[in-house]
Structure 1
Amino acid sequence: MFMFNCQLCGRTVPLHTPVQRVVLETRPKSYPPRENIYPPVPAEGAKGSRKNRSKKARSARLKRNDPGGQGSEIVREVLSCAECALRYGP
């Protein structure tokens, strides 16, 4: 723990007071789909430990795709005291 200045009201916060992060601005973000991005996983029915897995089971591994999608990114975030976090937070 450390002392810090609230970036919203400018007060010095007492020692051992936890920092509150307040998101002030976000923006929409679109993530494109990506193919074969994740490591392969065993195909259904492939049994055995990694060492003892048969050649057939090893060749039956499936690669996974990332579907992409929509989300949001933080544009501006500040450190604040508990009072300001309640006032400006969600």
Structure 2
Amino acid sequence: MQRAHIQSIDDTRIQEIKELLPPSHVLREFPASERAAQTTVQARHDIHRILHGADNRLLVIIGPCSIHDVRAAREYAENLKREKERLQADLL
């Protein structure tokens, strides 16, 4: 049985495809600053201490699942930083 007209069935609702760089390219292009590296090392240390009972603070993991508005994301981060500083004795 032959079809006289074959309709496309793949990607019929796709308007645009944007290719993403592999993580290795992003890491090479935008290496972590010394401050970011220190923050990461300290956070991992603190999390380890909480998970092993050496730190009584509550571990809280929050954040946006994605960022579509850079200005709003920065505002959100500033608010989180203020709350982090205010609650640092009880929460990590």
TM-score band, normalised by the shorter chain? under 0.3
Larger Rg: 1
Indicate the structure with greater helix content. 2
Indicate the structure with greater strand content. 1
Query: Higher RCO, 1 or 2 (CA under 8 Å, sep at least 6)?
Result: 1
TM-score (norm. length: structure 2): 0.21
